[in-house]
């Protein structure tokens, strides 16, 4: 392992809230150097830096071939169905279907940017591109955590003109502004909703990215979405969207668990070429031996996202 990340999902277990049971090693975002390979492995070799998406996948089942590696018939989640990445090392099932070689030195300054592709940037990208409809003119991102910020960056890269970021942390909103958010909405509840509705001439946003998962965020998403628009849920929903309201207002529900492996090659090219740098989301670094302090910093909202090094 060279670098790993702490995800909001990891915090659920840390705080004893419901979520995937992990352990003894958890963590599903990591960049490492291949130590050794099994005899059938073809695409990676020892000594090579690699990045893994947040789930492993065989690469050749019917779902993987369709580009839905997150639904791989033999795949699973790190720290749940396999070891986790917040460790000295991890055994990678289906290395060919899972890993992607990184054409950079392991000490390269772009490694943190590569690490974001494992989950949050791939998820942010998915949030914007999962909707098959016409390109939205306005996007509202609900949530200023790492995924929300990456969705802002993805929207900016997609050439979307007006990007609202709804969040409550000044430090994170600043990163969002840097990533291309044109309108920062920090007012809570209905006051914030009104700002988005009024700024869009009463219509609401064409595409709303729900990047939190809690009921309040889903309510906000419904409130600021235009009739005929779409809500892209990438926060890992723990609440519900009102299906009758979606029906009556012609709101499409899209997004979902991102097939990160499908997006990795193109996003990695962009990072290596210097066209994409989501690394500003990492505002706190800890060593693996002190990983607990990284979790605590995220729980205490002292950190947006924590980078773990060995
Ligand atoms: Zn598969």
Taking the centre of ligand 1 as the mean of its atom positions, its distance from the CA of residue 259, in whole angstroms, is 11
Taking the centre of ligand 1 as the mean of its atom positions, its distance from the CA of residue 124, in whole angstroms, is 22
Give percent above pLDDT 70 in the chain.
98
Taking the centre of ligand 1 as the mean of its atom positions, its distance from the CA of residue 75, in whole angstroms, is 6
Look at residue 21 and tell me whether its pLDDT is greater than 70: no
pLDDT band at residue 179 under the 50/70/90 scheme: very high
- Identical fold between 3-119+259-309 and 124-255: no
Q: Domain residue spans in the chain?
A: 3-119+259-309, 124-255
The torsion angles phi and psi of 185, rounded to 5 degrees, stand at -115, 105
Taking the centre of ligand 1 as the mean of its atom positions, its distance from the CA of residue 232, in whole angstroms, is 24
Taking the centre of ligand 1 as the mean of its atom positions, its distance from the CA of residue 73, in whole angstroms, is 5
Taking the centre of ligand 1 as the mean of its atom positions, its distance from the CA of residue 84, in whole angstroms, is 19
Taking the centre of ligand 1 as the mean of its atom positions, its distance from the CA of residue 201, in whole angstroms, is 45
SS3 call for 50: strand
Look at residue 131 and tell me whether its pLDDT is greater than 90: no
Mean pLDDT, the chain, as a whole number? 95
pLDDT of residue 238: 87
Class of domain 124-255: alpha beta
What CATH architecture does domain 3-119+259-309 belong to?
Alpha-Beta Complex (3.90)
pLDDT tens digits along 152-164:
999 999 999 999 9
Taking the centre of ligand 1 as the mean of its atom positions, its distance from the CA of residue 66, in whole angstroms, is 9
Cα angle for residues 283, 30, 139 (degrees, 5° grid): 60
Task: State the greatest distance between any 2 C-alpha atoms of the chain, in Å, as a whole number.
Answer: 61
Taking the centre of ligand 1 as the mean of its atom positions, its distance from the CA of residue 159, in whole angstroms, is 32
pLDDT of residue 20: 66
User: CA 155 to CA 130: how far, in whole Å?
Assistant: 12
Taking the centre of ligand 1 as the mean of its atom positions, its distance from the CA of residue 267, in whole angstroms, is 21
Give percent above pLDDT 90 in the chain.
88
> Taken in order 58, 61, 66, 71, is the CA torsion positive or negative?
negative
User: CA 228 to CA 102: how far, in whole Å?
Assistant: 41
SS3 labels along 198-220: HHCCCCCEEEEEECCCCHHHHHH
pLDDT tens digits along 259-286:
999 999 999 999 999 999 999 999 999 9
> Taken in order 136, 72, 211, 275, is the CA torsion positive or negative?
negative
Taking the centre of ligand 1 as the mean of its atom positions, its distance from the CA of residue 60, in whole angstroms, is 5
Look at residue 16 and tell me whether its pLDDT is greater than 90: no
pLDDT of residue 25: 82
Determine the average pLDDT of the residues in 170-181.
Answer: 97
pTM over 0.85: yes
Determine the average pLDDT of the residues in 223-251.
Answer: 95
The answer to whether 220 and 192 have CB atoms below 8 angstroms apart is yes
Sequence-distant (6+) residues with CB within 8 A of 221 are 140, 142, 208, 210, 231, 233, 241
Look at residue 23 and tell me whether its pLDDT is greater than 80: no
Residue of 126 and 9 predicted with greater confidence: 126
Taking the centre of ligand 1 as the mean of its atom positions, its distance from the CA of residue 54, in whole angstroms, is 14
């Amino acid at each position: 392992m060279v670098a790993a990340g702490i995800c909001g999902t990891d915090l659920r277990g840390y705080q004893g809230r419901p979520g995937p049971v992990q352990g003894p090693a958890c963590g599903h975002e990591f960049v490492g150097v291949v130590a050794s390979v099994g005899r059938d492995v073809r695409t990676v070799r020892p000594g090579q830096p690699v990045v893994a998406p947040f789930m492993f996948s065989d690469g050749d089942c019917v779902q993987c071939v369709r580009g839905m590696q997150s639904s791989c018939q033999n795949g699973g989640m790190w720290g749940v169905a396999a070891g986790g990445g917040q460790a000295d090392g991890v055994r990678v099932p289906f290395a060919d279907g899972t890993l992607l070689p990184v054409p950079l030195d392991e000490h390269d300054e772009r490694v943190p940017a590569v690490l974001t592709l494992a989950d949050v940037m791939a998820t942010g990208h998915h949030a914007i591109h999962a909707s098959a409809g016409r390109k939205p003119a306005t996007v509202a991102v609900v949530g200023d955590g790492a995924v929300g910020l990456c969705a802002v960056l993805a929207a900016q890269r997609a050439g979307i003109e007006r990007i609202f970021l709804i969040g409550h942390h000044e430090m994170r909103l600043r990163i969002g502004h840097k990533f291309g958010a044109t309108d920062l909405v920090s007012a809570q509840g209905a006051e914030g909703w009104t700002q988005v509705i009024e700024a869009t001439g009463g219509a609401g946003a064409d595409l709303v990215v729900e990047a939190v998962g809690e009921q309040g965020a889903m309510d906000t998403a419904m409130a600021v979405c235009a009739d005929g628009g779409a809500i892209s849920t990438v926060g890992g929903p723990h609440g519900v969207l009102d299906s009758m309201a979606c029906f009556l207002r012609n709101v499409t529900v899209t997004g979902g668990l991102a097939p990160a492996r499908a997006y990795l090659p193109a996003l990695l090219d962009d990072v290596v070429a210097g066209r994409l740098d989501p690394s500003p989301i990492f505002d706190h670094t800890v060593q693996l031996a002190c990983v607990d302090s990284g979790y605590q910093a995220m729980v205490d909202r002292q950190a947006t996202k924590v980078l773990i090094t060995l």
